[in-house]
């Protein structure tokens, strides 16, 4: 079920809000939210609810066992190991089994052996998100950062709560454990959440969906029919699409959580105004970056074991970040690409970037745009061809494509708005002291009402409403 679907906006959300309000002072409110979340997840593929319930049960039992055992005979470490293996086994079975089969076939081919069948297993929506979220709970219990939750219902709500279930942000249990037991929703909380949800809906419906139409049309062309300029335009359109699509979803998730009394951490902080790739990753998908830093990078040694080990740890983390996004070589290369740039900046490029001042933005933005090509295309060969067109645009100037059939007036009109909305407008408002004056002012209330009306009107007449991160 999409947040930007008419059924969610007109039926599901009003009913769940009303139910949560009526039950807010009873112990049944969490039961109600768990049932609503399971219904939300089962809307597309009902059978996947069994996977969700299995994840809840496995991680709940692991937390209970960790509380009962001590470190004397290593049983706590065994419980943690088994839990992580089970979580990763579920993730690998549904997400990476096909990739592993393809790798095995490539190896068998070297020895002249016949290939094995590549399984086609439907990917459960959001499995990467709720698996990482569940593992963080068990790891934190093992580290004694949080007390294990005795109530199965509370663990179920933590893992399955519908606002952040499908595409994050990845919430750590210690951030909301108190809110699961005790929370309240003031008028200010509800208004703040509704405001955030409307802004996210506008990002998704009015900008991301429009950018997607142009990006999809250009990337669908044969590379031989794409000029250098068209290749850059496609990459820039996709750069805006994925930002407004994913950050819009995060805004909606954070806003929905606030409307139910939950305070989720920020997931985006205008990443495209970064002055380096290292800064980009402090602003982009913050919850994922934080997860890998806390549960992978630091346990590997972080930057405490020498320069060479630090760089190796970075490459491992970025490789895993790429693979987390998708079971393909292009995703792995995308992760390694960002890892390599991060290492280059540590080796001295950052000193040059500091001398460039604000102009370093061009480096970081272009580097991000270039990297998104690997993220968007389906195979390495196509990615290399596309990048070749971007690196030498003067060598590719012929096309039989009519750009007026692809780049509509709506796209042209929204491109400047997308560029301003990725950070410059907010920076200007902050500098002029207008940000807080705008917040909940009558002009903003009227703006949000109009924005919601336009979004609903657009959804009523539009059939194109994809969401990128559902496939991760």
Is 7 contained in some domain?
no
DSSP string, 255-296: HHHHHTT--PPP--S-GGG-SSHHHHHHHSSHHHHHHHIIII
* Per-residue confidence (pLDDT) for residue 25, from 0 to 100: 87
pLDDT at residue 22 greater than cutoff 90:
yes
The residue to which tokens 């068990």 are assigned? 138
Q: Are 234 and 369 in contact (CB under 8 A)?
A: no
Q: Which of 67, 263, 325, 402 is catalytic?
A: 325
**Residue 330 pLDDT more than 80?**
yes
Q: Which two tokens stand for residue 416?
A: 């400047």
- On whether both 112 and 217 belong to a single domain, the answer is no
Residue 115: what pLDDT? 77
Q: Residue 155 — very low, low, confident or very high, per pLDDT cuts 50/70/90?
A: very high
Question: Are 329 and 438 within one domain?
Answer: yes
Same structural domain, 254 and 124? no
Q: What's the rounded mean pLDDT across residues 133-159?
A: 94
Q: Using one digit for the tens of pLDDT, what is the confidence trace for 99-137?
A: 777 777 778 777 777 777 777 777 888 888 999 999 999
Q: Give the end of a domain, one of 152, 183, 214.
A: 183
Q: What is the pLDDT of residue 5?
A: 86
Which of 132, 159, 183 is where one domain is finished?
Answer: 183
Give yes or no for residue 72 having a pLDDT over 70: no
Q: Considering the domain boundaries, does residue 295 fall inside one?
A: yes
Which whole number is the average pLDDT over 253-273? 95
- 41 within 8 A of 167, measured Cβ to Cβ: no
The number of domains in the chain is: 2
222 lies in the same domain as 291: yes
The number of C-alpha atoms within 13 Å of 148 and in the hemisphere containing its C-beta is 20
Residues 150 and 194 in one domain: no
Neighbours of 388 (CB within 10 A): 15
Asked if pLDDT for residue 472 goes beyond 90, the answer is no
Single out the residue of 172, 191, 197 nearest to residue 265, CA to CA.
172
In whole angstroms, give the CA distance from residue 282 to residue 288: 10
Q: Do residues 153 and 193 both lie within one domain? A: no
Regarding whether 226 and 132 lie in a shared domain, the answer is no
In a domain, 379, yes or no: yes
Burial of 150 (0-12, 13-18, 19+ CB in 10 A): exposed
- Give the domain extent around 255: 189-471
Q: Residue 390 domain-assigned?
A: yes
Cβ 235 vs Cβ 373: under 8 Å: yes
Taking the C-alpha atoms of residue 123 and residue 265, their distance in angstroms, rounded to an integer, is 27
Do 321 and 462 fall within a single domain?
yes
Q: Which residue has the higher pLDDT, 302 or 369?
A: 369
The verdict on residue 10 lying in a domain is no
Q: For residue 8, tell me if it sits in a domain.
A: no
Q: Is the C-alpha dihedral spanning 152, 158, 159, 162 positive or negative?
A: positive
Q: Among the three residues 123, 154, 183, which one is the final residue of a domain in this structure?
A: 183
In the predicted model, is pLDDT for residue 4 greater than 70?
Answer: yes
Q: What is the mean pLDDT of residues 453-467?
A: 81
In terms of domains, do 140 and 223 share one? no
pTM over 0.75: yes
* Residues 6 or more apart whose Cβ sits within 8 Å of residue 369: 232, 235, 236, 239
Q: 259: closest CA among 201, 199, 189?
A: 189
Q: Give the confidence band of 261 by pLDDT, cuts at 50, 70, 90.
A: very high
Query: What is the reported pLDDT for 67?
Result: 86
Q: Do residues 240 and 259 share a domain?
A: yes
Q: Are residues 238 and 379 in the same domain?
A: yes
As a whole number of angstroms, the distance between CA 272 and CA 276 comes to 10
Are 249 and 469 within 8 A, CB to CB? yes
Q: Are 33 and 20 in contact (CB under 8 A)?
A: yes
Residue 275 lies in a domain: yes
pLDDT per residue as tens digits for the range 351-380: 999 888 888 999 999 999 999 999 999 889
**Predicted confidence (pLDDT) at residue 1 exceeds the cutoff of 80:** no
**φ/ψ of residue 91, rounded to 5:** -65, -45
Give the lowest-confidence range in 280-294, 335-349, 429-443.
429-443
Is 19 inside any structural domain? no
What 462-466 contacts at long range (C-beta under 8 Å, 24+ apart), as own/partner pairs, is: 462/205, 462/209, 464/209, 464/212, 464/213, 465/2, 465/4, 465/5, 465/205, 465/209, 466/209, 466/212
- Same domain as 403, residue 377: yes
Reply yes or no on whether 285 is catalytic: no
């Amino acid at each position: 079920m999409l947040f930007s679907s008419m059924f969610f906006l007109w039926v599901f959300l009003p009913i769940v809000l009303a139910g949560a309000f009526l039950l807010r002072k009873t112990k049944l409110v969490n039961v109600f939210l768990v049932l609503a979340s399971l219904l939300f997840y089962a809307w597309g593929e009902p059978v996947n609810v069994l996977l969700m319930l299995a994840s809840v049960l496995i991680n709940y039992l692991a937390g209970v066992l960790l509380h009962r055992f001590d470190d004397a005979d290593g049983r706590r470490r065994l419980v943690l190991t088994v839990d992580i293996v089970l979580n990763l086994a579920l993730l690998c079975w549904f997400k990476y089994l096909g990739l592993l089969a393809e790798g095995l076939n490539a190896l068998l081919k070297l020895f002249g052996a016949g290939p094995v069948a590549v399984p086609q297993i439907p990917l459960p929506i959001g499995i990467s998100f709720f698996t990482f979220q569940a593992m963080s709970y068990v790891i934190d219990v093992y580290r004694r950062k949080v007390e294990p939750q005795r109530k199965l219902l509370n663990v179920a709500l933590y893992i399955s709560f519908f606002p952040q279930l499908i595409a994050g942000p990845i919430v750590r249990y210690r951030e909301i454990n108190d809110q699961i037991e005790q929370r309240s929703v003031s008028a200010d909380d509800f208004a703040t959440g509704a405001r955030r949800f409307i802004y996210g809906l506008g990002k998704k419906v009015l900008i991301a969906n429009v950018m997607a139409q142009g990006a999809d049309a250009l990337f669908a062309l044969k590379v031989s029919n794409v000029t250098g300029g068209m290749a850059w335009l496609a990459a820039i359109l996709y750069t805006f699409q994925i930002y407004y699509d994913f950050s819009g979803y995060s805004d909606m998730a954070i806003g929905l959580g606030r409307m139910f009394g939950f305070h989720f951490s920020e997931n985006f902080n205008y990443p495209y105004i970064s002055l380096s790739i290292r800064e980009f990753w402090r602003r982009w998908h913050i919850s994922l970056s934080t997860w890998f830093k806390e549960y992978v990078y630091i346990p590997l040694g972080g930057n405490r074991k020498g320069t060479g080990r630090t760089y190796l740890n970075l490459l491992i983390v970025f490789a895993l970040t790429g693979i987390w996004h998708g079971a393909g070589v292009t995703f792995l290369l995308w992760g390694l690409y960002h890892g390599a740039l991060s290492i280059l900046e540590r080796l001295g490029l950052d000193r040059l970037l500091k001398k460039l001042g604000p102009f370093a933005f061009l480096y970081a933005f272009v580097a991000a745009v270039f990297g998104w090509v690997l993220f968007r295309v389906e195979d390495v060969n196509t990615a290399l061809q596309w990048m070749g067109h971007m690196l030498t645009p003067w060598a590719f100037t012929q096309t039989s494509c009519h750009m007026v059939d692809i780049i509509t007036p709506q796209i042209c009109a929204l491109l400047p708005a997308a560029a301003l909305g990725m950070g410059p407008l907010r920076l200007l408002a902050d500098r002029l002291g207008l940000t807080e004056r705008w917040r909940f002012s009558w002009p903003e209330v009227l703006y949000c009402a109009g924005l919601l009306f336009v979004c609903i009107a657009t959804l009523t007449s539009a059939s194109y409403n994809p969401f990128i991160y559902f496939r991760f």
